[in-house]
Amino acid sequence: MKNYLTELIDSNLFFLSLILFVIVLPLSVALISVVGALVLLTAILEDSRTAKWERIKHRKIILLIPLIFLLYFISTLFTLQHDKSFYDVQKTLFYLVFPLAFSMGKEINSRQKRFVLYTLTVSTISAIIIAIFRWKFTVLESQSLTVRDISLVSHIRFGFQLILMIWFWVLVLLSNFNQLTQVKRILILALITVYIGFLLFQQSLTGIIALGSSAVLFLFYLVTKLTSKRRIPIVIVFIAILLAPLIYLYSAVNKFYDIEEVNPNTIEKVTVIGNQYKHDFSRKMVENGHYVYLYICQKEMKEEWNKVADVKYDSTGVNGYPIRATLIRYLTSKGLRKDAEGVKALTEKDIENIERGIANVIYEKKYSLYPRIYQTIWEYHVYSETGYANNQSFSQRIEFAKAAITIIKDNWLFGVGTGNWKTAFSNAFKENGANIEESNYASSHNQYLNYMVKFGVIGFLFIMFIIIYPVVKTKRYNDQLLMLLLTFMFFANFADSNLETHVGSSFFFFFYCYFLTGPKNYLFLTISNKK
């Protein structure tokens, strides 16, 4: 083992710094900055100036990326009028750090390049195990945490790491299929299954869409490489991957809007014990096809609930909403009336769910993706009926995007700059009459809209060119893993401003530079030391 490690490391401290970075990437947000700085420092200090200069001349193409950082920096200097901080500059440091580090860092061979990804495999599996323990011993006992809180870094950004690992092992399996033993094939398939399973378990719609989009690209690639006879099953799978989520989503939407028909003239006016119901037909909120604001008798609910629950009817729940509001929604989701009989029909588990802030019996399904999809449809329904968007991820994103488009229309050429975009968004929300609290104001959560808000169409095209051109110039578009990375990040950036987050930018620009440099045929296990 000692000889193996000595030969693997090959007196390459830069390689060791890369190993350390991928160890902390899924485990600690704080250490990402520390180790990222260490990667750059190692590249600067290791080896002679002459050797570093030769590598910089050979890899100078990736030094285009720091121009994006420079754009942020200069824009902040010239537009820093209202938001007195260099917030955006701080978030985009990795646009500078990793291109500089990889431009001068010592060369790594194919085996070392694979070993970095092997290490990320170990660290991501470790992060999954820790997350499961947090789920078992923290989230299930907590009344405020959800399954999306259990990873040590953002569940969206952790999802990207899992997707990269899925494709790495898929490509290793396909590239070396005949050389691998049956046991190794099974282990790799098991590993891929664990990654996909956890991605689904954490209910990250952004991650699932990113994985699906990259799967479509990969299958298209396979179709172009296979003979016509072998293309048929791949084409079938390709079509299935395209149609299955659309059919599932169509079914979920139809199911949601399969709403009970109620006649205001014949609806029952009193409860079983003779108290008056309140029916509000003007409010169209529904849960599982039942109207929320029909068949409500607050007096009976309060009396019966306070008999059976520890958290009283007029209390505020852990989700920040009154218990009575959660109770009304939950009863509706079960098709029960909001009266004494409805509360009596609740099980102990139902009562516990309501006390924990669970507003629909569907959300009790911890291991299903449907609750996450239902929640998104429900949020859109509430937003479309009321315009209310507060504390609702999907609805807020609609208002964020509307505000971004408002800003872009007035500043489409050069944007508003990075120094006062917060003020620009605040003004846009007010101009649009957005039904959203000021504490929830944020940027568009769309990387492309954010670029256009800050830098206009000119800046957006400039940034896109700088990211795409090095791939074309180096002909690294033949690197399947790099292309899959670019594909799933391309789609994921429509749902979030990932390249302006700490973990998102560090992940993307580390692996962007990583795949643009070093050996190209690193996926083949028989090539161990090819430069």
Contact 309, 354 (CB under 8 A): yes
Confidence of residue 81 (pLDDT cuts 50, 70, 90): low
Q: Where are the alpha helices (H) located in 419-501, listed in sequence order?
A: 421-432, 447-473, 480-492
Q: Which residue has the higher pLDDT, 10 or 165?
A: 165
**Position with higher pLDDT, 441 vs 231:** 441
243: confidence class by pLDDT, cuts 50, 70, 90: confident
pLDDT the model gives residue 3: 67
**Span of 364-368, 386-390, 453-457 with lowest mean pLDDT:** 364-368
Asked if pLDDT for residue 393 goes beyond 50, the answer is yes
pLDDT at 141: 55
Q: pLDDT: is 245 or 304 the higher one? A: 304
| Residue-range domain boundaries for the chain | 2-250+440-516, 286-364
Q: Please give the mean pLDDT across all residues of the chain.
A: 90
Instruction: Give the model confidence (pLDDT) of 268-292 as tens digits.
Output: 999 999 999 999 999 989 999 999 9
Mean pLDDT of 164-184: 94
Q: Which percentage of the chain shows pLDDT scores above 70?
A: 94
- At 326-367, the pLDDT tens digits run 999 999 999 999 999 999 999 999 998 998 888 999 988 777
What average pLDDT does range 471-479 have in this prediction? Answer: 94
Average pLDDT of the residues in 391-411: 92
10 Å CB burial of residue 438 (0-12, 13-18, 19+) is exposed
- The per-residue pLDDT for range 300-315, each reduced to its tens digit, is 999 999 999 989 999 9
Query: For position 531, what pLDDT does the model report?
Result: 43
What pLDDT, on the 0 to 100 scale, is given for residue 1?
A: 63
Q: What pLDDT score was predicted for residue 228?
A: 67
Cα Dmax for the chain: 92
Mean pLDDT, residues 138-158:
76
Token duo for residue 354: 């309501």
Look up tokens 């700490």; give the residue. Answer: 502
pTM for the model stands at 0.90
DSSP of 360-386, one letter per residue? SGGGG-TT-SHHHHHHHHHHHHHHHHH
Q: Is the pLDDT of residue 497 over 50?
A: yes
Mean pLDDT of 433-442: 87
pLDDT of residue 139: 58
Q: Quick one: which of 147, 197, 209, 131 has its CA closest to 371?
A: 147
User: Mind listing the pLDDT tens digit for each residue in 13-63?
Assistant: 999 999 999 999 999 999 999 999 999 999 999 988 999 999 999 999 999
In percent, the amount of the chain with pLDDT more than 90 equals 68
Among the ranges given (131-135, 155-159, 222-226, 428-432), the one the predictor scored with the smallest mean pLDDT: 222-226
Confidence of residue 166 (pLDDT cuts 50, 70, 90): very high
Query: What's the pLDDT at 293?
Result: 95
264-273 LR contacts (CB < 8 Å, sep 24+): 267/294, 268/295, 271/297, 271/300, 271/337, 271/339, 271/340, 271/341, 272/339, 272/340, 272/341, 273/300, 273/340
Least confident range of 138-147, 210-219, 226-235, 415-424: 138-147
* pLDDT of 529 over the 50 cut: no
Which pLDDT does position 142 carry in this prediction? 54
Greater pLDDT, 482 or 10: 482
Residue 78: CB atoms within 10 A of its CB come to 11
pLDDT classification of 8: cutoffs 50, 70, 90: confident
**What pLDDT was estimated at residue 10?**
75
Nearest to 290 by CA among 255, 248, 340: 255
